[in-house]
Amino acid sequence: MRRTLLEALVVAGIGAVLAFAANGLSPRGLELSNNYFPGAQPSLPAPGKGQTNAAGTNASSPTELLAARLREDGLQLADSKQAEQFFQDPRRDQDGVIFIDARDDKHYLAGHIPSAYHFDRFHPEDYLTNVVQVCLTAQRIVFYCNGGDCDDSEHAAVMLRDSMGLPRDKVFVYGGGMAEWSSNGLPIEVGARNSGQLTNVAPAATPSRAEATKR
């Protein structure tokens, strides 16, 4: 019995060796390292919103992606809170802080951030004389366009910064643009710069009866 088992094992071993050799020599041989049953492996979901990537961190938000893209161009992202702070900065009255609207004439005249300068990068020769001096002396320059997918503000910021050698630390891009500015109920100037025609301004609060009596 033992001899029979021994002979069977020898025959099986020889058969396995011959099988591997034949597989290696054959042009149709199987790649033994390949997985021929992919259904047995669980698939992992691709990173996305509300999911985590392979590093275990959350996927980047649109704001984070925009900030990263601006950093690659040497620009700083201004969010809605920072843009409003720039607008309220007392230095804005003396052009120490300025806003530059990078949209075309039609959009600018329809409504822009009050006192914002205008620079259309597609026709720079028409606007350079109005923005060069203020850009050189301003301490903070905030470029904006419509927001969202609009990237005119980024291109305008890079164009003026590089052509005039402006320090990078004073150039910002307001990512939310006019769409966010308007939806936040902030004032909008219509027509030419400093026209005084303001819209989107909250009406003055009506005094209460008690306050009216005191007066």
Phi first, then psi: what are they for 96, rounded to 5°? -75, -30
Transcribe 33-83 into DSSP letters.
TS-S-GGGSPPPPPP-TT-B-TTS-BPPPHHHHHHHHHHHTT-EEE-HHHH
pLDDT of 200 reads 83
Give 99-125 pLDDT, tens digit per residue. Answer: 999 999 999 999 999 999 999 999 999
**Domains contained in the chain, CATH given:** 75-199 (3.40.250.10)
Q: How many residues does the chain have?
A: 215
Give the pLDDT confidence of 121-153 residue by residue, as tens digits.
999 999 999 999 999 999 999 999 999 889 999
Question: What's the angle, vertex CA 178, arms to CA 174 and CA 181, rounded to 5?
Answer: 80
Q: By CB neighbour count within 10 A (0-12 exposed, 13-18 middle, 19+ buried), where does 202 fall?
A: exposed
- Whether 27 shows a pLDDT value over 70: the answer reads no
State mean pLDDT over 50-54.
47
- Run of H or E including 197: none
Q: Average pLDDT for residues 57-79, to the nearest whole number? A: 90
pLDDT band at 191 (very low <50, low <70, confident <90, very high): very high
